[in-house]
Chains A and B, each alone.
Chain A
Amino acid sequence: MTDILVYVPDSGKHAAEVLTLARSLGDVSAIAFDDAAASLASEYGAAKVYRVNAAGIDDYFVAPKATVLTDLARQVSPSVFLLPSTDEGKALAARVAVVLDNGLLTDVTGLETDGTARQDIFAGAIIAKSKLAKGFTLATVATGATAAAPAPAEAPVETVEATVSEDDQRVKVAESIDEPAGDRPGLAEADVVVSGGRGVGSADDFALIERVADALGGAVGASRAATDAGYYPHKFQVGQTGTTVSPQLYLAAGISGAIQHRAGMQTSRVIVAVNKDADAPIFGMADFGVVGDLFQVLPQAAEEIEKRK
């Protein structure tokens, strides 16, 4: 008996979290389009893996995958179907919802066996409980909703052969450019994120943020003011229109704490801020804060951390 369907896009932390949450609700059938995703599903306790083979599917944007997921959902008729809340996961869920005429909950931060979901709304200012009144529970799961916990199993694999219809070939992925990842941990996956804002003042001075990040073994992040000013590349932006992070430690230096920034980091376990303005909103959410000039505070902190290592 299988009743929780999960789309596993890759072998990343977010996918592992969704599998962990799904497992707490029932028997999980995972849908994987490659071997790395399939083995993650086994490692995180899936009872079954649908391994989809569809030649050329990655050459087209979203539509063909949505067709495969819709067909599988129809066939399995799950009680719950979860996807990660990423741009792709949401796009797929939206298309499944329309075709199956089903409701959809996005960005859930928790889910109970009776289908009650938790959602953080207005950038996390309000926590709501919601539910789908009809259909099955179709939801996308926010990053950081659960801590990923492995539960290795030898899940039986069923191969699904699929073809890409002409209709689903209208948006081609002509090119896929990956910017070099560098030596630091990935922003979305890191346990420690050290971010700099407009207060850092220049691209050169981001070296100070990098020094603190390296001392703590963390990733570097930035506010939009810092990425807009060209201090640091856009892909490191944390927030509503950047990456959402949920690390064990988030250190914000020279960041005021605008709502769009908070939206992307407020579920961090421990938040630390350095800002010369005692009234900066970031202090309202900080577990520890230093009111002071980051050019005084951070070098001293880095030295102390390096000494203690």
Chain B
Amino acid sequence: MNIVVLVKQVPDSGLARQLDAQLRVDRNGANNVMGELDEYAVEAALQLKEAHGGEVTILTLGPDQATETIRKTLAMGADKALHISDESVAGSDALATSKILAAALGRFEWDLVIAGAESTDSGMGIMPHLLAARTGVAAATGARKIDVDGTAVNVEHQRDNGYDVLTTQLPAIVSVWDTINTPRYPSLKGIMAAKRKPIETLTVGDLGIDAAEVGAAAAATEVLEAADRPPRSAGQIVTDEGEGGRALAEFLAAEKFV
């Protein structure tokens, strides 16, 4: 079974993140990492490969430095990667991104696409369905569990109050939450092996897409302004010296919660 994993490089959410002068996510900082949920997507693919055989291909759309993230996925055990890197893509909205990823998916044979349920930077959580709508492939998203049995795919789709069992046939697109597995760390051997694994790099033009269809000029979304959230007015912090619980109850009563 051949699997494609969609992996996006994002700014580390644990550190300060910024927008650049054009109000786009600043990706030039040194603190770029793999999308948090994409690690779980890579792990899910590796486990399916271990069970069913086949190849795991990473697909990334992003600037040159996204190669670092791709190397990490190869070190975890992915076999090869396709990296779409093109200046003209900067400022694309999700719809244009999906157009490019859909075209890239059209270049080879695969059975299953696995994505993160949402990216760490935009957090839109829509890419799998955008791709499903563009490619006509079935999408069973938001998985806390995936089973493949022959050509049947069973997904436990996580909901706030339980889950749904979704069933479909390959080819399919799925996305995963962090409840699905525990991503492995790359081993030293994996890191060495990754250096020899192939990464194909293509431009948007190579995919047969006109640069005018993507990028900031083509984007339907326009960010008008952005500002830091005003800090919450400093709260009252007390240290418990035996009366902390009563002080807390006092505060809640004053706020009419008691």
- Residues of A near any B CB (own CB < 8 A): 61-63, 66, 87, 90-91, 93-95, 97-99, 101-107, 116, 120-135, 167, 170-179, 181, 186-188, 192, 216, 224, 234-235, 240-241, 243, 248-249, 258-260, 270-272, 274, 278, 283, 285-293, 296-305, 308-309
Contacts and interface: CB of A to CB of B under 8 A. Distances in A.
B249 A301 contact: yes
B219 A259 contact: no
Contacts of B154: 174
Interface residues on B, range: 35 or more
B220 A134 contact: yes
Contacts of B243: 300
A286 B234 CA distance: 8
Given A98-B133, A131-B222, A172-B166, A285 B232 contact: yes
B207 interface: no
Contact of A274 (B140, B167, B248): B248
B237 A106 contact: no
Given A133-B222, A216-B258, A124 B245 contact: no
Given A177-B162, A290-B247, A62 B224 contact: no
B241 to A, nearest CB: 8
B181 interface: no
Interface SS of A by simple majority: mixed
27 contacts: A61-B166, A87-B142, A94-B130, A99-B133, A106-B126, A125-B17, A125-B228, A126-B229, A132-B222, A167-B136, A171-B167, A172-B166, A177-B163, A188-B160, A235-B160, A235-B161, A241-B117, A249-B255, A270-B255, A270-B257, A278-B239, A287-B235, A288-B248, A289-B235, A291-B244, A296-B245, A308-B253
B223 A103 contact: no
A177 B227 contact: no
Given A128-B226, A241-B178, A259 B14 contact: yes
